[in-house]
Structure 1
Amino acid sequence: MKPTHQDSTDNVESDVDGRVRIFDTTLRDGEQAPGFSMDRRAKLRMAHALEALGVDIIEAGFPQASPDDFAAVAEIARTLKTPTIAALARCQEADIDSAGRALEGARHSRIHLFLSTSPLHREHKLGKSKQQVIDIAASAIQRAKALAHEVEFSAEDALRTEPEFLAEIFSVAVEAGASVLNAPDTVGYVTPTEITRMFTYLREHVRGADKVVFSAHCHDDLGMAVANSLAAIAAGARQVECTINGIGERAGNAALEEVVMALHTRRPLFRVDTGIVTQHLYPTSRLLAEVTGQPVPRNKAIVGDNAFAHESGIHQHGMLKHRGTYEIMRPQDVGAKTSLVLGKHSGRHALRQRLEELEYDLDEATLDAVFERFKNLTDKQRSITNDDLVALMDKHRNNHHTAAVAVES
């Protein structure tokens, strides 16, 4: 039976202008990537973290894939209070019914249907005509509509589908009861210019476009998932599907933290908001690394160790004068901290600040002497710790004391 409380599609029309919904698929698309699988306990931990992060929709899994996946979706659906919980399903009766059962305990539920639409997929994957694909989609949406509060329809490989056919199947999807239309770049093939053109076309040609939310789901095979997601938003998409740390099949998905902070940092350009509590981005990223055993690359945007780290003397000097010289975001806004890393590229200004933080009172002569020893040490090791600096200061004091005793004698 379809849930009896208010259909959450009522909210779709009200926030379509200035709000972008964040649809997180870390637990489904991200988790099915090699090396990132999570057990039920890990999925529940991540789901709670995503709820605290302020994610609008959590795709909890693919219930028909396995009994464990079904159980994980059901537990998340029963436990979480704020986000919409989505379950993935093929346009097949068994999948749809399984998703509906798994979502029974959800306060806000969504069945996420997908069906291939591109010529390549129609011929080689489905062996179906255009009309057959349309009929399958319509029937599946009608069935799912009776089992969840919302239905999202995804046209798999949409960005390699004929625009006219994509607009037609989306129009039928709206008539059948879908409230979210997802046009995924399934294989990470298109460019921002192409995705802009496609979303603009869909909003102009889909019948009932004003009644639904258009969604983007971009893969990173050519390294353009985030750029394509932002282009889709600029063209009117009001849902973006992404994952923490950008994990996902092959080269991954659009990274949630990058999309969100691009919209936040460049708000005057995009003029939209999300409901994400950005201060939770770094901790959520680190939790995912913990539960999957996959470390975050140091140079990862927003949440990598180097994202707010500065070693270059020129950069460090600028940062000490004014953060805005080399940081376009405040690290505390994502739950991180600025780090002035001391290494072979560091200068006197950064060394002085660190020594003063360690409560050393420095005159210029002392700084000159310690800086020379510091540079010699950087030739031997990549970074200099506070313990190294204490040792340098102790050595300087001992040498200075020995020299003073020698003079007196």
Structure 2
Amino acid sequence: MKLWTIAVFEFQRYFKWKQELITVAILAAFLVFSALWPVVKTWLDNDYKIALVSQAAAPKVSGYSFSQIPADSAETALSGVGDVWDLVVQVQDNKLVMTAQSSASWQDKLTPELQSWLQKQRIGELPLTTEQKEIVDNLPDTELVFLKKDSVQQNKEQKLVSGGLLLLMVVGVFSGFGFMFTAITTEKQQRVTEQLLTLISSKEWIDGKILGISLFCLKSMITTGLFFYIMLQAISMMKGKGFFVLPISPSELASALIFVSLGLLIINSFMAGFAATIDDPNHSSRSIIMFLPSVPLGIVFSAMDNAEGTLMHILSLFPLTSFAAMPMRMATVSVPWWEWVLSLVLLIACLFWLKNAASRVFELGIRMYGKEPEWSLLLKTFLFARVKE
């Protein structure tokens, strides 16, 4: 009961309902605005009027209205730049001459389109046969044949899901780093340890901190994920592609939630234990060790481009990396059920071992003021010794 009380306190310490409701309201307003934006944009946008001095067919570019005029009317068109025409385009000695009243960003989009248009005109004037022109104009065809009909192709959407999961894990890890480090070192510097240890045991204290801050980190990940999901919906609707559906099934999403939650508990267990050994965070050289939990994420990131490879298999089973590797692997390839179960069992076993080890280190460090435990004692306590009450 005391454990849950501490967990709720640590969670509510950073969770503010008013702030969360304001965030949700802003996201909802942004989503509504994104849905209406294509209509507003179509209503407000005016096509730029382009006078093309050429007999060749004008290119079709969205947002630009081309009018072809004869060469003898070029001077008249030039005199109307800024009033009648936004741009006058002439071809002189196989070179594009574009006349505008002033420089503008919309010209950067139009220039490559006109260059491609002129290049096609010049290729068409070359003494090439029909077959040669087709070779110049068209890229060779390609065909990709899959021998396994049920194989999963790592397409752009799947890569998006994998990258998004990794980004959310980074958010969770560094949220835990900031909150855990601040909470423990502040309590230690303010000398509230003695009062707390008269009311609760050190094990209840660290377990409550780990659980409460892990819940808040998970909340931060979900909030960030929701924000990016709404952003994807907004971009999709702005482009007129409709509702965007992530290529991830509910079972894969639930699996990712399980692995990520256990991973946060492991990482925050390490951080809680080690943060207690730091006496002064402003001068301690040990603070850099708190960044070690980010190393597994970097390793998984380096291997995620080959989800079928041996390295990714190993990382998805090794408990210190499986919390990140298994969700990303499941987002791209089909994982055998026995590998999923084995990975989960190893992850849970690692969590219990690391939590107990972190509890011993926490109890050692939280009682020490004015100095930090020696590395040899720290290692011995982490691996073997149990501190007496």
Q: TM (normalized to structure 1)?
A: 0.23
| Higher RCO, Cα 8 Å, sep 6+ | 2
Whichever of the two has the greater Rg, that structure is 2
Q: TM (normalized to structure 2)?
A: 0.24
